[in-house]
Structure 1
Amino acid sequence: MINRLKALSTLLDHLVNREATTGRCVTCLNKRAFQGLCSPCRADLPHNRLHCETCALPLAFAGPVRLCGECLTQPPPFTRSRIPWRYQFPVDSMIGRYKYQGQRKFARPLLADFSDYLDRTLTDSERPELLIPAPMHWQRRWQRGFNQSQDIAEYLGRRLKIPVGSQAVRRKRKVRAQRGLSRDGRLRNLSSVFEVRRPIPERVAIVDDVVTTGATTRALAKELSKAGARDIQIWALARTPG
């Protein structure tokens, strides 16, 4: 039974790989797809419409101030976040296949839609001078084969004509994987882990795939702020609900 399931999964992967280059939807294989998704699947994406204006945490309701409790009591060192989707099905599955299995075709629709959204909504005063991918330790990058944050930043940089500072920041040491850690555990895990290695302009955007507790973005934004950045945005594909 297990072998049959594996064979079925392999066949489905083969079909998706093949159809991704011929215009089919990457989630249901519908022939009528635009930028990798058909209209029904695109409509089913969990859009992050009601969210904190600073960290993009999904909110249950809209109050007089569109800020989450943490941003009210502990304002982060960044100004705002642009995160279009919640990390729920099917976005979580699409990012997972891209991030952990290297299947970039599952990220293409999200990247295309995200870049179109940014191109429509960014004003000249909000446009970053540099995109900074969330850095990955070289050992983890070697194990995974690529840094998905850098991959996303380079795609957005090409589409929006914004330079990418891939070497601007590095991880000084390898840390325990963030998955499964509490917010406080993530903050302790990331203490003094980032080092800014290049001059930083005043307006930058940190690029990542998923923002979970926000510990990584807070730690990285703190170091960029020390290096001279004054307007720091967070750009990511998805935000985990609280």
Structure 2
Amino acid sequence: MPLRYVDEVAWLVRRFKFEASPRAGAVLLALLEGALVAEVHAWPQALVAVPLHPRRARERGFDQAGWLARRLGRRLGVPCLDAERRRDTPSQRGLDRRERRANLRHAFRVSGRLPPRVAVIDDVMTTGATLEALAQACQAAGAEEVEAWAVARTPRTPSAPEAW
């Protein structure tokens, strides 16, 4: 994760995620790609984006993780494979790590067989619960190694240590 989710980065992510700003997305994608070391570029055999539930995708009109993963996959020359959000989970905002993990238990499914090495993609990582739940679904679909890639990470704060 190359960036901290604060100040200008948080503003960019919000514009990208909630306003579907392609300019903000292009900047975030360039920053993510620039932070990946050359050895990592060739590591994944596929990318899997954190999927939105279809209802939330319709409401928002934009799937930010899928947008990032498809473009990054083209740049890295690896396929972007689909996962499914099996249930419409409540928002993770305001939940601590334990609550986030429980909220996402069995939330994702990957159809078909995955290659041995995949990277799961999201815009922001807070506790890692979402990426962990998707990684488990990827392993159930045959992935042997799964890396989590996100554009930004929320900073740990003294007032919310349970979030990590």
> What residue identity is the alignment partner of 1:216?
T
Question: For 1:107, what is the secondary structure of its paired residue?
Answer: helix
In structure 2, what residue type is equivalent to 1:91? V
Which residue in the other structure is 1:128 paired with? 44
Of 57, 65, 69, which aligns to 1:153?
69
Show the counterpart of 1:110: 28
Percent of residue pairs identical: 40
Amino acid at match of 2:21: Q
CA offsets, 1:88-129, max 9 Å, x none?
1110110011101111211212212322333634264xx100
User: In structure 2, do the counterparts of structure 1 residues 135 and 123 end up closer, same or farther at CA, with 3 Å as the change threshold?
Assistant: closer
Within a 5 Å distance, the mapping from 1:176-215 to structure 2 comes to 176-215=90-129
1:216 is the counterpart of 2:134 = no
Given the two structures, how large is their TM-score scaled by the length of structure 2?
0.89
- Alpha-carbon RMSD across the aligned residues, in angstroms, is 1.4
Cα distance in 2 for residues equivalent to 1:215 and 1:119: 25
- Structure with greater proportional helix content: 2
Counterpart selection for 1:99 from 7, 11, 17: 17
Unaligned runs of 5+ in 1: 1-82
CA contact (8 A) 1:115 1:160 kept: no
Q: Is the 8 A contact 1:128 1:162 kept in 2?
A: yes
Between 1 and 2, higher relative CO (CA 8 Å, sep ≥ 6) is seen in: 2
The count of residues paired between Structure 1 and Structure 2 equals 156
| Contact 1:100-1:144 within 8 A present in 2 as well | yes
Distance 1:158 1:196 in 2: 21
Q: Is the 8 A contact 1:119 1:160 kept in 2?
A: no
The answer to whether the 8 Å contact 2:117/2:143 transfers is yes
What letter corresponds to residue 34 of structure 2 in structure 1?
Answer: D
Structure 2 distance, partners of 1:196, 1:232, is 13
Shift of 1:213: 1.0
**Contact 2:31-2:151 at 8 Å conserved across structures:** no
* TM value normalised by structure 1: 0.61
Aligned residues of 1:134 and 1:150 also touching (Cα < 8 A) = yes
Measure, in 2, the Cα distance between the counterparts of 1:121 and 1:98. Answer: 28
User: Radius of gyration: which is bigger?
Assistant: 1
Counterpart Cα distance in 1 of 2:106 and 2:41: 33
